[in-house]
A and B are shown apart, each in its own frame.
Chain A
Amino acid sequence: DQQVKQNSPSLSVQEGRISILNCDYTNSMFDYFLWYKKYPAEGPTFLISISSIKDKNEDGRFTVFLNKSAKHLSLHIVPSQPGDSAVYFCAAGDGSGTYKYIFGTGTRLKVLA
């Protein structure tokens, strides 16, 4: 049972344009959400997070939007750069005391120069 879903396995965007990566979740107990970026042969690297009490969080070129009623979040990258090409994982904190994450299956972003 996939509680965090990233329905687009891949996305290609032109350099300078906006990249929008989407994520849906099913468990209303999730109270914290994160995006991680992963390059080949490396572990995931934290990108940006958002608490369930907010609907938007920005950090430079990266913005995460949360729609709790729709159980949906998205990551916007503006402007996209070739170095952003990587696999992006959406993750949710499960609301338990361990603060562990439940990850989606990832979206491979390719930014074309």
Chain B
Amino acid sequence: DTGVSQNPRHKITKRGQNVTFRCDPISEHNRLYWYRQTLGQGPEFLTYFQNEAQLEKSRLLSDRFSAERPKGSFSTLEIQRTEQGDSAMYLCASSLTSGSYNEQFFGPGTRLTVL
């Protein structure tokens, strides 16, 4: 399977705990995006990597959120001291780099439930 993969698919945690999600993009894709989707909404942009460099972060990404892409391949998204409002589907997408818009390929998402 050469698509975008995300792990875990589901995560249930208690308020105040830390969680980490992983995204493995399509191997030749340089761009990697994280989005968050809540019930009844479309995906909302969180952050963007070009290779290993994190080039943009949304205002939605509070100080409790951190994302990394250490070798320009897989990426992790960590949420510290989770709150109930963090409950959402976290989507990762990747695309080629060509100086223009390219189709973003999405993974299946990680559904986070904070109790």
Contact = CB atoms under 8 A, between A and B. Distances in A.
A and B interact physically: yes
B56 A45 contact: no
Interface of A: 4, 6, 9, 32, 34, 36, 41-46, 49, 51, 89, 91, 93, 96-106
Given A44-B106, A49-B103, A89-B42, 8 more contacts: A43-B91, A44-B91, A91-B42, A96-B56, A98-B48, A98-B56, A99-B100, A101-B45
Nearest to A43: B106
B64 to A, nearest CB: 21
A45 B106 contact: yes
B70 interface: no
Interface residues of B, number: 26
B31 A99 contact: yes
B101 A102 contact: no
A49 B43 CA distance: 17
B108 interface: yes
B42 A43 contact: no
Interface of B: 4, 31, 33, 35, 40-45, 48, 55-56, 91, 93, 95, 100-109
Contacts of B103: 34, 46, 49
B108 A42 contact: yes
A39 to B, nearest CB: 10
Given A89-B42, A103-B43, A105-B40, A43 B101 contact: no
B56 A100 contact: yes
Nearest to B55: A98
B42 A104 contact: yes
B38 to A, nearest CB: 10
Contact of A102 (B31, B45, B102, B108): B45
A81 B48 CA distance: 36
**8 tightest Cβ-Cβ pairs between the two chains A and B:** A103-B42, A43-B106, A32-B101, A46-B103, A98-B48, A100-B45, A44-B106, A98-B56
A43 B108 contact: yes
B44 A103 contact: yes
Contact of B105 (A46, A49, A99): A46
